[in-house]
A = this chain, B = another copy of it.
Amino acid sequence: MKFNNRNVFISDSAIIGKNVKIGDNCSILDNVEIGDNTIISNDCVLGEPLLEYYSNKEYSNPITKIGSGAFIRSHSIIYAGCTFGKNLSTGHRVTIREYTEMGNNCRIGTISDIQGYSKFGSHCWLHSNVHIGQKSTIGNFVFIYPYVVFTNDPTPPSNTCIGPTVGDYTQIAVFSVLLPGVKIGEHCLIGAGSVVGKNIDDYQLAIGSPAKVVKDVREIKSRDTGESHYPWPYRFDRGMPWEGIGYSNWVNV
């Protein structure tokens, strides 16, 4: 139904793994390497060249690596120079600029816009319409909800570019802004609609504009169980490496 080999372009220098499906109207450009068992849905561009391509006749496209088991939904654009571990999953119309690095098992939601020159750990889940400015650093198991923006210029416009840093297991709720250079610890929860301008220690719930720490996340109860919900890895395992075995067992192995 979806893979009819209609209007597909694959560069001679692309390296395509085994059992890879490539959707209609896709362009796989120079020096793209795609791992085994990957699905590229329709209308995607992989290996989009950098700006220099349009002016420099000597231009050579940097290598783009997409690990095995990826599922890239339709209309996504991934620039040259990006590297993804195994099992990348994207929504539709994702734009990922050059030199973005991601570990394994990352997910990026529909219309999200990663501006490049940023580094993510493994198991990060970015929901729809997330905007990550350049020079951002994100740990492992970080979940970022819709319409969150990471910024990097403290006095716009300027040539200063200092992205935010986010620690492992932290959750950033919808419509939050991380101001330039802010550092958020591990296991934090940033509430909906926050503007975070000051560093946040581990395990803190911060909320508001400007965001203020209101309590320790370990005091937050689950609506379902009435018990502490955080640190969430003890309560949630869907898609996580500790699925079915429990976080305690996984972390102790």
Over the window 23-38 of chain A, the binary record of Cβ atoms lying under 8 Å from chain B Cβ atoms (1 yes, 0 no) is 0110101100000000
Q: What separation, in Å, do the CA atoms of A175 and B27 have in the docked complex?
A: 34
Beyond A93-B95, A160-B223, 20 additional pairs, beta carbon < 8 A:
A1-B11, A2-B29, A7-B7, A24-B27, A54-B71, A95-B110, A110-B113, A113-B129, A131-B147, A146-B151, A151-B192, A155-B223, A156-B189, A157-B238, A158-B222, A158-B224, A175-B175, A175-B195, A177-B192, A193-B209
Q: What separation, in Å, do the CA atoms of A160 and B131 have in the docked complex?
A: 26
Pick the most buried of A49, A177, A189, A236: most chain B CB atoms within 10 A of its CB.
A177
- 16 interchain pairs (CB within 8 A)? A1-B11, A1-B29, A1-B49, A2-B53, A42-B45, A75-B93, A93-B111, A111-B111, A143-B156, A145-B156, A155-B220, A155-B232, A156-B232, A158-B222, A158-B236, A174-B177
Interchain CB contact under 8 A, A146 and B175:
no
Q: 5 smallest A-B Cβ distances: which pairs?
A: A155-B229, A193-B195, A157-B236, A154-B223, A193-B209
**Contact check: which of B71, B91, B195, B236 meets A192 at CB < 8 Å?**
B195
Q: What separation, in Å, do the CA atoms of A64 and B220 have in the docked complex?
A: 41
Restricting to A215-253, which residues have a CB under 8 Å from any CB of B?
Answer: 220, 222-224, 229-230, 232, 235-236, 238
Interchain CB contact under 8 A, B154 and A145:
no
User: Which residues of the other chain, B, contact A129 by a CB distance below 8 angstroms?
Assistant: 113, 129, 131
Smallest CB–CB gap between A214 and chain B, Å?
Answer: 12
**Contact check: which of B2, B45, B111 meets A113 at CB < 8 Å?**
B111
Using a CB–CB distance below 8 Å, which chain A residues touch chain B?
A: 1-2, 4, 6-7, 9, 11, 24-25, 27, 29-30, 39, 42-43, 45, 48-49, 53-54, 61, 71, 74-75, 77, 91-93, 95, 110-111, 113, 115, 125, 128-129, 131, 143, 145-147, 149, 151, 154-160, 171, 173-175, 177, 179, 189, 192-193, 195, 208-209, 220, 222-224, 229-230, 232, 235-236, 238
Interchain CB contact under 8 A, A174 and B151:
yes
Smallest CB–CB gap between A123 and chain B, Å?
Answer: 11
User: Which residues of the other chain, B, contact A6 by a CB distance below 8 angstroms?
Assistant: 7, 9
